[in-house]
Amino acid sequence: MTVDGVEGLPRRAGLEALQMRRVRPDDAEAFVAMMNDPAVYPGTLQLPFTEAQAWRERLASNTGGSTQSEIHLGVFAEGRLVASAGLHPASPAVRRRHVMSLGITVSAAWQGRGVGDWLMATLCHVADRWLGVLRVELYVYADNQRAIRLYERHGFATEGCHRAYSLRNGQYVDTLAMARLNPQPPAWPAP
């Protein structure tokens, strides 16, 4: 079965009306609307009051092609961005090219409805089977239990706690470092 161009990855039940695709520079305004939502940006390392031009520039590097070093997907409901997630190089260092960093954002109205699970399954599948990634890393606020459970369902394990990692609404908050190793890393076929 092919869904949204990903071989072998079924669409999640109840999400048939949604579209998942690679984001484009012309999605900048949609990112501004989602990321300026007071129910969304406190859960990220983003600042409030983002601007479309900054998002256009960021999304311009996500145009696709075989030489691209990252993948950034969006989920759209009736043309409106409701979630996004991406895999980004963790470091420019050659010795860390087997590692990618994952970021995900789901708008408040769509949290708990399977959209984050769908994005996580898709990105883990692409990382494991198409990008040759051995390790995927992410950071999550230690008090974001819903997100932590989502990541654990997809094989992520907590590796440590960064104390006072970020300033959020006037308070320093701890962040967990989590990672997932490819459960079936690519191997040469047996002779």
Q: Tens of pLDDT along 42-52?
A: 888 887 888 88
The CA distance from 41 to 47, in Å, is 7
Q: How far apart are CA 4 and CA 20, in angstroms?
A: 7
How much is the pLDDT for 2? Answer: 38
Confidence at residue 11, expressed as pLDDT on a 0 to 100 scale: 63
The more confidently predicted of residues 47 and 10 is: 47
Quick one: pLDDT at residue 54?
Answer: 82
pTM higher than the cut 0.85: yes
Share of the chain above pLDDT 90, in %: 60
- pLDDT above 80 for 4: no
- 105: burial class by Cβ within 10 Å (0-12, 13-18, 19+)? buried
pLDDT for residue 36: 84
pLDDT digits (tens, 9 = 90+) for 80-106: 999 999 999 988 889 998 999 999 999
Helix or strand (DSSP H, E) at 135: strand 135-141
Q: Which two tokens stand for residue 66?
A: 């075989």
Query: Does residue 87 contact residue 102 with C-beta atoms inside 8 Å?
Result: yes
The pLDDT score that the predictor gives to residue 81 is 94
**pLDDT tier at 66, thresholds 50, 70, 90:** low
Every domain of the chain and the residues it spans: 16-181
> Does residue 3 have a pLDDT over 60?
no
**Cα(53)–Cα(58) distance, integer angstroms:** 9
Strand order in the sheet with 135-141: 18-22, 71-77, 80-89, 99-106, 135-141, 171-181, 157-168
Q: What is the CATH number of domain 16-181?
A: 3.40.630.30
Pairing between strand 2-3 and 6-7?
antiparallel
Nearest to 104 by CA among 63, 74, 143: 74
**Each residue's pLDDT tens digit, 131-179:** 989 999 999 999 999 999 999 999 999 999 999 999 999 999 999 999 9
More confident residue, 133 or 37: 133
Residue 65: the pLDDT is 58
d(CA 79, CA 58): 20
Alpha helix ranges (H) inside the chain: 28-35, 52-60, 115-129, 145-153
Query: Does residue 31 contact residue 50 with C-beta atoms inside 8 Å?
Result: yes
